[in-house]
Chains A and B, each alone.
Chain A
Amino acid sequence: MKVAFTLNGAAAAWTGPPVTRLAAALRNDLGLTGTKIGCDAGDCGACTVLLDGRQVCACLVAIGQVEGRSVETVEGLAGADGTLALLQKSFLARGAAQCGICTPGMLMAAEELLRRVSRPDRRAIEDALGGVLCRCTGYTKIVDAVLSASVQMPTVTPEAGAAVGARMARVDGQAKVTGRDIFGADGIPPDALWIRVVRSPYDRSRFALGDLAPLRRRLAAVLTASDVPFNGFGIYPEIKDQPVLADGIVRYRGEAVLALVGTRAYVLAVRDDEVPIVWTAEPPVIGIDAATAADAPLVQADRPKNLLLDGGVRHGDAAAAFTGCAAVAEGVFETAFVEHAYIEPEAGWAERVGDRIEIHVTTQTPYMDRDEIANVMRLKPESVRIVPTACGGGFGGKLDLSIQPLVAIAAWLLKRPVACVYTRPESMAATTKRHPARISAKFGCDAQGKLVACDVSATFDTGAYASWGPTVANRVPVHAMGPYAVPHVQTWGEAFFTNGPPAGAFRGFGVPQAAIAHEAMMDELADKLGIDSAGLAQCLDALRPGWQRAHAEAAAFNAKGGVKRRGVGIGCMWYGIGNTSMSNPSRIRVGLSPAGTLTLYNGAVDIGQGSNTILTQIAADALGLPAAQFTLVAGDTDLTADAGKTSASRQTFVSGKAAEKAGLDLRQQILRLANAGPGAVLSLRDTRLSVRDGAEVRVLDLSTAGTLIGEGTFDPPTTPLDADGQGIPYATYAFAAQMAEVEVDTELGTVKVLRIVAAHDVGKAINPTLVEGQIEGGIAQGLGLALMEEFLPGRTENLHDYLIPTVGDVPEIECILIEDREPLGPSGAKGVGEPGLVPTAPAILGAVHHATGVRAHRVPLLPHRLRGAIVSLRGTRA
């Protein structure tokens, strides 16, 4: 069928099956990849476009239905000359786009509203944006951007030396608000073959492949385990336990078994019953109790007791010290599998270039990907090139391999580009999760509330494969006592294999789970001693005035009686920046070419948190030229040096320090060439670099000076931990305290978070807008962890059964940035990526306790769980 319609104001025509999704037609055939696909099911709103001026999900519209109608996409928002619309400028200036994957949908949803109401209020904005999910921002800056969309915001362009601390717009932001940013699924060559992965429907099963010849005749290839040169991958060099394609046994539902390779339409048309696999399902090991039972079947045959690893921290004599405590609190706390739910599913493509393989992929860790692919394919690392695309959210979930080995092996064998884009259910079933935890905590203090002893034991369900399990099990014992001086400490972490999805890295590496436990203990000790928990927690002074106000307001509200009760809670945390007692260096280069191009060669992947901008700001001030003069080369393993993973809140602190050193190095070289002193002022115009030293000005002609490269490397100083877990695990720590105010509907068990005040010690806010964005986004994820998020294999593998917060769920957030300079950090800065999330759930749960008396021992605190706890607390069914 030929469909004629108006597309962004111009006549357009499309030919094909009328039942084709509009989103697919726009992206695949009309070249408009600004419309993103997050779920293909109307659950996320990333594909929101305007149809006759109304916002719709382009994934739910049959293109046959747009005949004669008007379709508008993000590409149509800016003027024909490229001038950004006010709304786009507002998004840029306010920091409303982080990773940018939801931005086109947000913009179009807001556009529908703004055409009808030029100055909408917050409620109207929330109603209009309620159908678009964002996992990065916590929505705060998005709502602010729409509120101020009618106002022309001044552009912040700091002068030389003034970039650090400036609220500069993201250096990569223009592409994000215009839909031009190229994410994993956006740059796939038209002639690429497509992979559809066949996955296990069982938690645990043996299987045998039947005759694949009929399928192979229809398709370009059907890859099995035997096509993988080295069929094991994993984060740790000595643990390569996860097969690329399962070999006769599957250990979790969603595990990859076969890769069907062919044209997209062909692989999608293969019916499940045409894939000859004979399954012999076995009783699965589900949950910690099953894994640790005396007769538990082994998940991995060579892993006795299903144990991945254990270890702890000991200091003093905790057991003896408890006997002298004035108050002791104890509790057991359980958390669930939590899904990252980035709006961009795993996506990318590979092509063989001579005897090298190049992989374009959404990732948090290009160099680890490179080395892992080399290992799997038995190639030299130099034979693998990783070109990171824009990353539509990671949060730890894109630190493990997903599509990379599949597209690489297929492209290598077939000598054609091969792409793979996970569907939403596939992304949710197959990739890593936050570790479910069971944490037994015991804390004791003296009569003044000073902590004396703690004993914390954290048991983790690490799922079918190791992934980042060791990182979690190592980090938690170090953090389990909370940000407090405790003289007698005993902590323990252990992780067990189960037939659940692999639990991996997720913002906080287990510390958010542990914080729920230690903060509940602080509240209980305070209650037992009758003292104010904010005092016990020695929280940042910044929260004190708000704490008193919030308590007074809650008391006044509750005095009115009624079924709704308000409460106030606090959560404190500390977080070690960078890897635990392991080297994690970054190398950054700054180049000045003969053409006068100033380039930041940045291997630190910006997954939305803003490292492209932060590192530019740092390097610019170190060098002494304006940030606006920098161009960026990001991520590509052929063009940038290894700046490590985007994880562990390390990029500002570690790569930032490397960027500072690189900027200083280039500056030194320039000053030497100009024979100028350290205070000289630089300015760059075309190929002329002026160096003004006092009254004297020297001009370097770059076209004759050759390429100048400044380089900086930084590896945070740590030491190994001894048998008692003592040593220097991290070079620096972030500290934070958050206060939550909630309103509980005691009849329904629902919790509305009214407000969060977040005080974070960030060392130095290199870009306050981006720092706030990290905190606000972390809070939204912490709220989800506390109240709604629980991944259940086979049951919540989509974004309508697995709930993440919408714009209407995230409260007003006040960020208080504490700038207690970290001597090692660039301009005194340290990390903030994970800390934003860690104290939120404890603060919310503390507030629920304050409001209702219910101490949550299991999260998420779903309405039916909270209602059940309220009922049993009252000892009667209301």
Chain B
Amino acid sequence: MARPHTVLAGGTDFYPARVGRAIEEDVLDIGAIGVLRGISSVSEGWRLGATTTWSELLEADLPPLFDGLKQAAREVGGRQIQNAGTLAGNVCNASPAADGVPCLLALEAEVELASRTATRRVPLGRFITGVRRTARAPDELVVAIHIPKPGHEARSAFLKLGARRYLVISIAMVAATLEIANGRVANARIAVGACSAVAQRLPALESALAGAPLDGRLADRIDPTHLAPLTPIDDVRGSADYRADSALVLLRRLLAGFAP
């Protein structure tokens, strides 16, 4: 751990960055560390081991709170990527288009980091600090992602927009977790990915949804100004304007989907 090194888990981001050249750097392969793998239910919520794969997540017995994250898991690459790629790897790679991040933000995930001397937990929103940048120190490993137990019954959902059906980098994606009490939204957490350097929560929209009846008019509460935290860019996949428009459309559809 003392020397500069690259952490290798599922390999799905590591190898594509090294096409056609020799791999000469020091690599720390954490794939075989058993305690880093798997999903467990703990008193305050759930612990997703760092090297848990998307497929393992899909096959895990989890409450509806995780439906959105499972929907995202099905949209990550193809089956090969889902079988190898890890949740923590998706977070550490810190791509603006990381499919897992909006859902994890909407789940209020915390990232558990460990060094030889200490462990700490960082909210995901503060862990990813920019494009391909995180708060992980060189001597730290991400060992788990923690999902707190919500205060009420909770459901979640995810929508992704890409230019083809499979194996596609998102143009925009949206995730929501709604806590529900007495047929109303007790708490809402909404996040949008691929429309800013780091996926963003939308606090104004979350406030607007709080207390709303869970019915077909939920989507009517969205106002375009709620998307102010987004800073979409033009790239080969789409224009900035299109991204902003699409995020709005996707959010409306996402919320409409929560109606009973």
Are A131 and B80 closer than 8 Å at their CB atoms? yes
Q: How far is the CB of A807 from chain B (nearest CB, A)?
A: 7
Are A131 and B84 closer than 8 Å at their CB atoms? no
Q: How far is the CB of A757 from chain B (nearest CB, A)?
A: 21
- A133 contact set on B, CB distance < 8 A: 167
Are A19 and B171 closer than 8 Å at their CB atoms? no
Which of these, A131, A268, A808, A863, contacts B81 with CB under 8 Å?
Answer: A131
Cβ of B11 < 8 Å from any Cβ of A?
A: yes
- B16 contact set on A, CB distance < 8 A: 40-43, 60, 798, 800
What per-residue 1/0 map shows which CB atoms of B1-38 lie under 8 Å from chain A? Answer: 00000001011101110011111100101011000000
Are A803 and B164 closer than 8 Å at their CB atoms? yes
Are B80 and A426 closer than 8 Å at their CB atoms? no
Are A809 and B165 closer than 8 Å at their CB atoms? yes
Are B249 and A747 closer than 8 Å at their CB atoms? yes
- A201 contact set on B, CB distance < 8 A: none
Residue from B12, B80, B168 with most neighbouring chain A CB atoms (10 Å): B80
8 Å CB contacts to B: which residues of A240-286? 265, 268-269
Which of these, A40, A109, A126, A800, contacts B20 with CB under 8 Å?
Answer: A40
- B171 contact set on A, CB distance < 8 A: 863-864
Cβ of A162 < 8 Å from any Cβ of B?
A: no
- Tell me the dominant secondary structure on chain B's binding face: loop
Which of these, A18, A747, A795, contacts B29 with CB under 8 Å?
Answer: A18
Cβ of A409 < 8 Å from any Cβ of B?
A: no
Q: Which residue of A lies closest to B20 (CB)?
A: A423
A748 to B10, CA, bound (A): 33
A716 to B170, CA, bound (A): 50
Binds A, one of B101-109, B206-214, B234-242: B234-242
A750 to B239, CA, bound (A): 14
Are A795 and B236 closer than 8 Å at their CB atoms? yes
Are A864 and B81 closer than 8 Å at their CB atoms? no
A196 to B239, CA, bound (A): 36
- A67 contact set on B, CB distance < 8 A: 32
A268 to B237, CA, bound (A): 32
- B22 contact set on A, CB distance < 8 A: 265, 268-269
Are A59 and B15 closer than 8 Å at their CB atoms? yes
Cβ of B131 < 8 Å from any Cβ of A?
A: no
Are B19 and A40 closer than 8 Å at their CB atoms? yes
Q: Which residue of B lies closest to A790 (CB)?
A: B236
- A877 contact set on B, CB distance < 8 A: 245
Q: A55-B80, A57-B80 are in contact. Are A62 and B238 (CB under 8 A)?
A: no
Are B169 and A801 closer than 8 Å at their CB atoms? yes
- A62 contact set on B, CB distance < 8 A: 8, 11, 27, 29, 31
Q: How far is the CB of B38 from chain A (nearest CB, A)?
A: 15
Q: Which residue of B lies closest to A426 (CB)?
A: B20
- B84 contact set on A, CB distance < 8 A: 51, 56-57, 60-61
Q: Which residue of A lies closest to B8 (CB)?
A: A62
A127 to B250, CA, bound (A): 23
Q: A60-B11, A62-B29, A130-B78 are in contact. Are A41 and B19 (CB under 8 A)?
A: yes
Which of these, A61, A269, A423, A425, contacts B11 with CB under 8 Å?
Answer: A61
Q: Which residue of B lies closest to A799 (CB)?
A: B167
A18 to B26, CA, bound (A): 11
Interface residues on A, range: 35 or more
A39 to B161, CA, bound (A): 24
Q: Which residue of B lies closest to A862 (CB)?
A: B163
Are B166 and A806 closer than 8 Å at their CB atoms? yes
Are A425 and B20 closer than 8 Å at their CB atoms? yes
What per-residue 1/0 map shows which CB atoms of B126-159 lie under 8 Å from chain A? Answer: 0000000000000000000000000000000000
A790 to B77, CA, bound (A): 20
Q: A19-B29, A57-B81, A269-B24 are in contact. Are A808 and B19 (CB under 8 A)?
A: no
- A54 contact set on B, CB distance < 8 A: 55, 83
A65 to B16, CA, bound (A): 17
Which of these, A51, A268, A808, A864, contacts B239 with CB under 8 Å?
Answer: A864
Q: Which residue of B lies closest to A112 (CB)?
A: B79
A821 to B168, CA, bound (A): 44
- B81 contact set on A, CB distance < 8 A: 42, 57, 60, 131
Cβ of B246 < 8 Å from any Cβ of A?
A: yes
8 Å CB contacts to A: which residues of B204-260? 236-239, 241-243, 245-246, 249-250
Q: How far is the CB of A106 from chain B (nearest CB, A)?
A: 12
8 Å CB contacts to A: which residues of B71-105? 74, 77-81, 83-84
Cβ of A868 < 8 Å from any Cβ of B?
A: yes
Cβ of A554 < 8 Å from any Cβ of B?
A: no
Q: Which residue of B lies closest to A795 (CB)?
A: B236
- B74 contact set on A, CB distance < 8 A: 127
Q: How far is the CB of A4 from chain B (nearest CB, A)?
A: 14
- B15 contact set on A, CB distance < 8 A: 21, 40-42, 59-60
Are B21 and A268 closer than 8 Å at their CB atoms? yes
Q: How far is the CB of A545 from chain B (nearest CB, A)?
A: 29
Q: How far is the CB of B152 from chain A (nearest CB, A)?
A: 31
Cβ of A483 < 8 Å from any Cβ of B?
A: no
- A864 contact set on B, CB distance < 8 A: 171, 238-239, 241-243
Are B29 and A127 closer than 8 Å at their CB atoms? no
- B20 contact set on A, CB distance < 8 A: 40, 196, 268, 423, 425-426
Cβ of A510 < 8 Å from any Cβ of B?
A: no
Are B19 and A130 closer than 8 Å at their CB atoms? no
- A750 contact set on B, CB distance < 8 A: 161, 163
Are A788 and B80 closer than 8 Å at their CB atoms? no
- B11 contact set on A, CB distance < 8 A: 60-62, 65
What per-residue 1/0 map shows which CB atoms of A419-435 lie under 8 Å from chain B? Answer: 00001111000000000
Q: How far is the CB of A137 from chain B (nearest CB, A)?
A: 16
Cβ of A148 < 8 Å from any Cβ of B?
A: no
Q: How far is the CB of A94 from chain B (nearest CB, A)?
A: 21
Are A868 and B242 closer than 8 Å at their CB atoms? yes
- B19 contact set on A, CB distance < 8 A: 39-41, 423-425, 798
Cβ of A45 < 8 Å from any Cβ of B?
A: yes
Q: How far is the CB of B24 from chain A (nearest CB, A)?
A: 7
- A131 contact set on B, CB distance < 8 A: 77-81, 166-167
8 Å CB contacts to B: which residues of A550-595? none
8 Å CB contacts to B: which residues of A26-50? 39-43, 45, 48
Q: How far is the CB of B219 from chain A (nearest CB, A)?
A: 12
Which of these, B24, B163, B165, B169, contacts A863 with CB under 8 Å?
Answer: B163
Which of these, A42, A109, A795, contacts B12 with CB under 8 Å?
Answer: A42
- B80 contact set on A, CB distance < 8 A: 42, 45, 48, 55-57, 60, 109, 131
Are B23 and A748 closer than 8 Å at their CB atoms? no
Are B239 and A128 closer than 8 Å at their CB atoms? no
Residue from B10, B16, B23, B74 with most neighbouring chain A CB atoms (10 Å): B16
Are A863 and B238 closer than 8 Å at their CB atoms? yes
Complex A-B: 14 CB contacts under 8 Å = A19-B29, A40-B19, A41-B19, A42-B16, A54-B83, A55-B79, A109-B79, A130-B165, A423-B19, A750-B163, A798-B19, A806-B164, A807-B165, A863-B171
- Other contacts beyond A62-B31, A795-B236: 15, CB < 8 A: A19-B29, A40-B16, A45-B167, A65-B31, A126-B166, A130-B165, A132-B78, A269-B24, A750-B163, A803-B168, A808-B164, A863-B161, A863-B171, A863-B246, A864-B242
**Ordered nearest first, which 9 A-B pairs have the shortest CB separation?**
A131-B78, A808-B165, A130-B166, A864-B242, A41-B16, A423-B20, A864-B238, A806-B166, A54-B83
